[in-house]
């Protein structure tokens, strides 16, 4: 049986050394699941609300746990997540905290899978096939909110589109990460790392494009399959006083659309995330019309894994894909709803980590379970490789 018999909550460290919420869910007959909430640095205005970890734990113990223990079954994800919503009573989890909600939601899914005796991706599969593997997007050069004194664009991502397997794609991204390091040394450019393990050199965007172009082509020649690259512009973080503020200039909305479109054409970019402000549906629609037939224009801050905002985007033709972050909306059920709406309307979905991560591997299973074309989970670093190594294990067990 999957009746929940206990929910335990504690503070643990995320990859930035900040406290976050970890949940254990126990069921009858020994079912067990454990999950931890990640946290973002460049967060959208419309995301579900994360509370300080201690406050989120206290509120969840008071309001959510009594609605779960002895009341719901971990094998019924909708039932668990409905109880979390009822316990919170707001539209954005501002009462118990999205960090406590998502930790409990994911832990319950794992508990349900353990009772069923199946891998989490199969348990989550539901109406999706769950039999293909996502292409990993590897963050290899970064700046913005993730690193000081680096590029204006937040992430330059390796995209191994030609990889014959997820494991070869993962190792290709690691090789691009190393190749970037070698190029920086050759150019006598010192570099530390940002929050997600990407190199964070003190260079401008133009040089970053040169380095990424050189690195992906060099590694593609070595491995024998196509590797392209993409961007997370995180443009909402740049948008101020009606313009996009770069280190060397500012761009109007029209200039930003043209700038990104030109980059897509020049570098054959495979992926462009948040190229415009989080409220600029019209700008997203304009860019999508120009280059949406050749690249994924992905909404993160624009959509925040929210079906209402995604529905608005679909109506206006804004973007052609959505980033899926369970903690951004609070529960796995809400994330699934966003994925289903995207799939129904021919939008791609990209399952994603956060800049402040834990060793939790739920998103690897979520990506496989929903046939996500891409997963965004970095290239190096223990909390990132936890997801990547889990993808390798899933692939190996599925063969």
Question: Distance between CA atoms of 96 and 51, rounded to whole angstroms?
Answer: 8
Q: Look up tokens 């734990």; give the residue.
A: 57
Q: Which residues of 16-49 are buried (b: 16+ CB within 10 A; e: fewer)?
A: eeebbbbbbbbbeeebebbbbbbbbbbbbebbbb
Q: How many CA atoms lie within 13 A of 69 on its CB side?
A: 14
325 catalytic, yes or no?
Answer: yes
For 176, list phi and psi in degrees, rounded to 5. -65, -40
Question: Distance between CA atoms of 9 and 31, rounded to whole angstroms?
Answer: 16
Neighbours of 304 (CB within 10 A): 24
Q: Which residues of 71-88 are buried (b: 16+ CB within 10 A; e: fewer)?
A: ebbbbebebbbebbbebb
Neighbours of 55 (CB within 10 A): 13
Question: Distance between CA atoms of 94 and 228, rounded to whole angstroms?
Answer: 40
Q: Which residues of 211-234 are buried (b: 16+ CB within 10 A; e: fewer)?
A: bbeebbbbbbeebeebbbbbbbbb
Question: Distance between CA atoms of 106 and 74, rounded to whole angstroms?
Answer: 10
Q: Which residues pair with 232 in a beta bridge?
A: 155, 273
The single residue of 59, 110, 270, 325 carrying the catalytic annotation is 325
Question: Distance between CA atoms of 159 and 172, rounded to whole angstroms?
Answer: 9
The single residue of 47, 155, 196, 237 carrying the catalytic annotation is 196
Residues 230 and 159 sit within 8 Å (Cβ to Cβ): yes
> Minimal CA–CA distance to 34: which of 357, 351, 362?
362
Active-site residues: which are they? Answer: 196, 325
């Amino acid at each position: 049986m999957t009746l929940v018999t206990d929910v335990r909550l504690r503070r643990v460290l995320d990859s930035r050394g900040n406290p976050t919420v970890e949940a254990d869910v126990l069921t009858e007959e020994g079912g067990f699941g454990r999950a931890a909430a990640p946290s973002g640095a460049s967060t959208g205005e419309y995301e579900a609300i994360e509370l300080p970890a201690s406050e989120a734990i206290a509120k969840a113990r008071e309001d959510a746990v009594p609605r779960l223990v002895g009341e719901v079954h971990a094998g019924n994800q909708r039932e668990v997540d409905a109880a979390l919503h009822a316990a919170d009573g707001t539209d954005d989890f501002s009462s118990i905290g999205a960090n406590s909600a998502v930790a409990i939601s994911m832990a319950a899914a794992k508990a349900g899978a353990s009772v069923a005796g199946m891998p989490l991706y199969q348990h989550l599969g539901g109406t999706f096939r769950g039999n293909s593997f996502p292409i990993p997007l590897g963050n290899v050069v970064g700046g913005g909110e993730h690193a000081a004194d680096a590029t204006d664009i937040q992430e330059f991502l390796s995209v191994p589109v030609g990889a014959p397997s997820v494991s070869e794609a993962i190792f290709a991204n690691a090789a691009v990460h190393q190749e970037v390091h070698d190029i920086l040394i050759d150019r006598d450019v010192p570099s530390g790392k940002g929050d997600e393990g990407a190199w964070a050199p003190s260079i401008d965007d133009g040089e970053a494009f040169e380095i990424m172009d050189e690195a992906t082509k060099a590694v593609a020649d070595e491995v024998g399959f196509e590797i392209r690259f993409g961007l997370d512009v995180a443009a909402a973080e740049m948008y101020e006083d009606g313009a996009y503020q770069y280190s060397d200039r500012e761009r109007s909305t029209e200039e930003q659309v043209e700038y990104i479109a030109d980059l897509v054409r020049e570098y054959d970019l495979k992926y462009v995330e948040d190229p415009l402000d989080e409220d600029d549906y019209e700008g997203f629609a304009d860019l999508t019309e120009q280059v949406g037939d050749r690249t994924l224009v992905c909404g993160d801050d624009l959509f925040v894994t929210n079906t209402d905002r995604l529905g608005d985007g679909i109506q206006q033709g804004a973007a052609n894909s959505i980033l899926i972050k369970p903690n951004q909306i609070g529960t796995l059920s809400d994330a699934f709803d966003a994925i289903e709406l995207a799939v129904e309307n021919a939008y791609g979905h990209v399952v994603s980590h956060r800049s402040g991560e834990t060793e939790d591997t739920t998103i690897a299973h979520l990506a496989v379970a929903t046939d996500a074309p891409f997963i965004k989970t970095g290239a190096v670093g223990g909390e990132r490789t936890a997801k990547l190594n889990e993808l390798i294990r899933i692939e190996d067990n599925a063969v």
